[in-house]
C-alpha cells in the first residue's frame, strides 16, 4: 500500500479527534527482528505481527525498490497512530456521542453478521419453495382499493400524532374495524375513492412510496404508521386485483435477490435476539 493511503487513514480519523501525532513517543518502538506475535503494544492493545506484515506487503507491492528500514518503521508508526486515534476516540466516548461514528460501527457489525450468508448456495428446491410461498409478493397488482387514516402534527396539543397513530395501529392489531381505528385520525383528510383504482391513480392520492407499500399488502392488511409530510398515515388495503402470476424463470434474479435479503434479515434478527440474552438490559419506558 502506498504511503499516501496510510496518511489518508490518519486524515479521516482526524475528523473525529485532533490529538497530536507526537503521542507516538508514548509507545515503545519495537525491534522488527524480535520474535513474538505482536509488533506494538499500546496500553494493552496489541498490533499483531500478521496485521503488520499484511500492511507491509501492501507497501511492498507499490514500491519498485526493496523496502528499507525507514519504510518498515513508517508503516509501524502509521499503524500506531491509527490505534492511538481510535483509542482516544473511544476514551472520548465518540461511539456514544458521534452519530457518524456510531452509524459506521453499526453498519460494519451488520455486514459482519450477514457476511457468512454470501458463502451459502441457494438450491433450486429452496428457491422454488420460497417462490411458491411468496407468489403474491412477486405478482404485480393491477388495481387497489385502499383506505387511509391520517394523523396530522399539532392538531391536538395533548397527544402527539405518532401516539395517536400507534393507538389506532394497536386497535387494528387487536381486531378493531377500520372505522373504529379511523376515529383517532383527522376527519379532514383527503378522501380516497372507495373503489378499485389503477396504481397510477393510487399514487396520486398517497404518493409513490405508500403506493408501493400498499401494492405488497393482502386484503385486510395494513401498514405500520408511516411518516409523511405533516404527520403519519396508516394505509389499509380493502381489496386488490392481481395480474397473472409470473413464471419463476422470468424473474429468477429478482427472486434470488429477495431470498437473500430475507435470509440476511433473519440472520441479523437472530443475532440481535442472542445479544439481548447475552447482556443485562434494563428498560424504563414511561407507561
Exposure class string for 38-72: b at 16+ Cβ within 10 A, else e: ebbebeeeebebeebeebbeebbeeeeeeeeeebb
Encode pLDDT of 199-243 as tens digits. Answer: 889 999 999 889 989 988 999 999 999 999 889 999 999 999 988
Same domain, 78 and 11: yes
Q: pLDDT-based confidence at 32, cuts 50/70/90?
A: very low
Q: For residues 178-189, give the mean pLDDT.
A: 88
Q: Specify whether 97 is located in the same domain as 28.
A: yes
pLDDT band at 27 (very low <50, low <70, confident <90, very high): very low
Choose one of 113, 130, 160: the last residue of a domain: 113
Q: Which of 223, 242, 261 is the last residue of a domain?
A: 242
- Residue 217 maps to a domain: yes
Q: Of 111, 146, 136, whose CA–CA distance to 271 is shortest?
A: 111
Grid coordinates representing 5 are 493511503
Query: Over 60: is that where the pLDDT of 167 sits?
Result: yes
Residues 236 and 174 in one domain: yes
Q: Does the residue 275 lie in any domain?
A: no
Half-sphere exposure (CA, 13 Å, Cβ side) for 89?
Answer: 23
**What is the C-alpha to C-alpha distance for residues 28 and 244, in angstroms, rounded to an integer?**
71
Cell digits for 176? 378493531
Whether residue 45 has pLDDT greater than 80: yes
Does 252 fall in a domain? no
Supply the pLDDT for residue 282: 82
pTM confidence score: 0.55
Asked if 236 and 147 touch (Cβ cutoff 8 Å), the reply is yes
Please report the sign of the dihedral spanned by the C-alpha atoms of residue 204, residue 207, residue 212, residue 215. negative
Torsion of CA 146, 149, 153, 156, to 10 degrees: 160
C-alpha dihedral, 83 to 86 to 88 to 94, nearest 10°: -170
Assess whether 157 and 73 both reside in one domain.
Answer: no
Over residues 39-67, the mean pLDDT reads: 88
CA 226 centroid distance within chain: 18
Residues 286 and 152: their CA atoms lie apart, in Å, by 23
Q: Is residue 283 part of a domain?
A: no
Place of cell 452519530: 99
82 in any annotated domain: yes
Interhelix angle 49-62/69-91, rounded to 10 degrees, is: 130
pLDDT of residue 136: 78
Together in a domain, 77 and 145: no
Main-chain phi, psi angles of 190, to 5 degrees: -60, 125
Distances from the Cα of 200 to the Cαs of 57, 102, 203, 240, in angstroms?
A: 57, 40, 5, 14
Domain holding 64, by residue range, is 3-113
Domains: count for the chain = 2
pLDDT at 67 (0 to 100) = 87
Res 138: pLDDT? 86
- Distance CA(30)–CA(38), nearest Å, equals 9
DSSP state of 277: H
Q: Is residue 287 part of a domain?
A: no
CA quadruple 53, 59, 60, 66: dihedral, nearest 10: -110
Amino acid at each position: 500500500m502506498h504511503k499516501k493511503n496510510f496518511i489518508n487513514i490518519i486524515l479521516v480519523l482526524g475528523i473525529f479527534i485532533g490529538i497530536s501525532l507526537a503521542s507516538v513517543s508514548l509507545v515503545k518502538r519495537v525491534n522488527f527482528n524480535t520474535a513474538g506475535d505482536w509488533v506494538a503494544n499500546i496500553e494493552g492493545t496489541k498490533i499483531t505481527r500478521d496485521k503488520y506484515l499484511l500492511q507491509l506487503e501492501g507497501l511492498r507491492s507499490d514500491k519498485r525498490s526493496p523496502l528499507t528500514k525507514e519504510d518498515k518503521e513508517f508503516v509501524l508508526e502509521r499503524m500506531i497512530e491509527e490505534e492511538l486515534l481510535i483509542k482516544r476516540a473511544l476514551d472520548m466516548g465518540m461511539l456514544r456521542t458521534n452519530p457518524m461514528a456510531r452509524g459506521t460501527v453499526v453498519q460494519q457489525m451488520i455486514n459482519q453478521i450477514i457476511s457468512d450468508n454470501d458463502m451459502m448456495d441457494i438450491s433450486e428446491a429452496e428457491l422454488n419453495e420460497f417462490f411458491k410461498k411468496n407468489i403474491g409478493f412477486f405478482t404485480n397488482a393491477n388495481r387497489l382499493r385502499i383506505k387511509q387514516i391520517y394523523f396530522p402534527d399539532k392538531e391536538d396539543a395533548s397527544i402527539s400524532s405518532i401516539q395517536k397513530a400507534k393507538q389506532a395501529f394497536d386497535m387494528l392489531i387487536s381486531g378493531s374495524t377500520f372505522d373504529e381505528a379511523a376515529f383517532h385520525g383527522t376527519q379532514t383528510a383527503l378522501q380516497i375513492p372507495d373503489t378499485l383504482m389503477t396504481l397510477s391513480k393510487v399514487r396520486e392520492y398517497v404518493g409513490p412510496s405508500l403506493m408501493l407499500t400498499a401494492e405488497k399488502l393482502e386484503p385486510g392488511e395494513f401498514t405500520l404508521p408511516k411518516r409523511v409530510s405533516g404527520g403519519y398515515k396508516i394505509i389499509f388495503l380493502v381489496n386488490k386485483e392481481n395480474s397473472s402470476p409470473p413464471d419463476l424463470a422470468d424473474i429468477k434474479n429478482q427472486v434470488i435477490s429477495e431470498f437473500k435479503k430475507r435470509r440476511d434479515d433473519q440472520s441479523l434478527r437472530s443475532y440481535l435476539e442472542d445479544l439481548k440474552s447475552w447482556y443485562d438490559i434494563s428498560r424504563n419506558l414511561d407507561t
